[in-house]
Structure 1
Amino acid sequence: MRHTAKYLIKRYSFYFGGDQPEVAWAERLRSCAGALVGLMLVFTIAKLLGELAGIDEWLMASLGASALLVFALPGSPMAQPWAVIAGNTLSALIGITAVILIPEPLLAMPIAASLSIMGMFILRCLHPPAAAVALIVVLGHVTHYRYALFPVMVDSILLIVAGAIYSNLTGKVYPNRPK
């Protein structure tokens, strides 16, 4: 059976992003500008807080992925405040516990990630970047629970505040309120 080039392109474009929805340039720019401004604010405030507290760890590495959800997909359930804050914090706590209890990182990483996913299901706070938080904690050999509070929880809260201010100023309702 012979297929036309148009048919083949349509059929296989899925594998090259063909399933992604069209997004207007204005929305693309709004999202990118929000991530830029929001992350600059979060990084600046977190660094200042870290300096005031005498803590060198002021940045959560997966914050960029959380920012994508908060600024580009503010309507997603996975971008809502509870999901971002609780998902990231819970995953950090689980990752730290895994580091303490399981000395082998190749075993600790999948256990930490899978348990953080289970915990997020239980607490109804699914946030995909949070599973990375658990891995980052294990890879970084973080063994102090303070890390879950600062930078993880504080950075998450700051991101939510920045996202709410920016989204609402630019015409997007965030956070979503149940109808």
Structure 2
Amino acid sequence: MRPSRKQLIKNLAFYLGGDQPFVSWLERIRSVFGAFLGLLLVITTAKFLGELGGTDEWLMASLGASALLVFALPQSPMAQPWAVIAGNTLSALAGISIFRFVNDPLLAMPLAASLSILGMFALRCLHPPAAAVALIVVLSQINHYQYAFFPVMVDSILLILAGTIYSNLTGKPYPNRPN
């Protein structure tokens, strides 16, 4: 039996985002504006702290992906403070360690990302953008452990603080409260 045109369109739509839940325009604007304000705060503060401390690295590149989770999906377990802060910091530590001990980048990159995922499973802090932190560390050839604490951990904390304030001011409880 041949599927109807309507069924083919429905199947195709599923693979082109048809499985995404509807989000009102008000919620979209709330999320986008929050991400903008939160990232602006984090970037400005991190740049100031970097200049104050004489540090060249003051921003982690995956922060935008973390902001999406914190501001657009604040109820997700992967957007909770422990997941964001510990996931990003642990992944930076894993990436730095692998970079220091594995000389082949083709092996170091997947090893750093996969070990960061293993660590996040172990510490119950799954945060998808954090796996990118491990890759970024290897690609950027960062070999000093200070990077895991500044900018990675500090940026993560600042993002969580901004997300907490913004979400609660706009009627979205964050972080999740235990039942």
TM-score, with normalisation over the residues of structure 2?
0.98
Identity %: 75
Structure 2: which 5+ residue stretches go unaligned? none
Q: State the match for 1:6 in structure 2.
A: 6
1:15-59 Cα distance to aligned partner (Å, 9 max, x none): 101111111110000000000000000000000000100111100
Q: Which contiguous aligned blocks of 4+ residues in structure 1 show a shift greater than 4 angstroms?
A: none
Q: State the match for 1:148 in structure 2.
A: 148
Aligned-pair CA distance for 1:11: 1.9
Question: 5 Å matches for 1:52-131?
Answer: 52-131=52-131
In the alignment, the residues of structure 1 paired with residue 123 and residue 8 of structure 2 have an alpha-carbon distance, to the nearest angstrom, of: 44
| 2:176 pairs with 1:176 | yes
Structure 2 residue matching 1:120: 3-state secondary structure: helix
In the alignment, the residues of structure 2 paired with residue 2 and residue 67 of structure 1 have an alpha-carbon distance, to the nearest angstrom, of: 44
In the alignment, the residues of structure 2 paired with residue 4 and residue 119 of structure 1 have an alpha-carbon distance, to the nearest angstrom, of: 47
Aligned-pair CA distance for 1:74: 0.1
Aligned-pair CA distance for 1:14: 1.4
Aligned-pair CA distance for 1:10: 1.1
Structure 1: which 5+ residue stretches go unaligned? none
1:56-88 Cα distance to aligned partner (Å, 9 max, x none): 110000000000000000000000000000000
Aligned-pair CA distance for 1:12: 2.1
In the alignment, the residues of structure 2 paired with residue 45 and residue 118 of structure 1 have an alpha-carbon distance, to the nearest angstrom, of: 31
In the alignment, the residues of structure 2 paired with residue 65 and residue 137 of structure 1 have an alpha-carbon distance, to the nearest angstrom, of: 16
Aligned-pair CA distance for 1:2: 3.6
* Stretch deviating more after TM superposition (159-168 or 4-13): 4-13
* Stretch deviating more after TM superposition (153-162 or 10-19): 10-19
Structure 2 residue matching 1:17: 3-state secondary structure: helix
TM-score, with normalisation over the residues of structure 1?
0.98
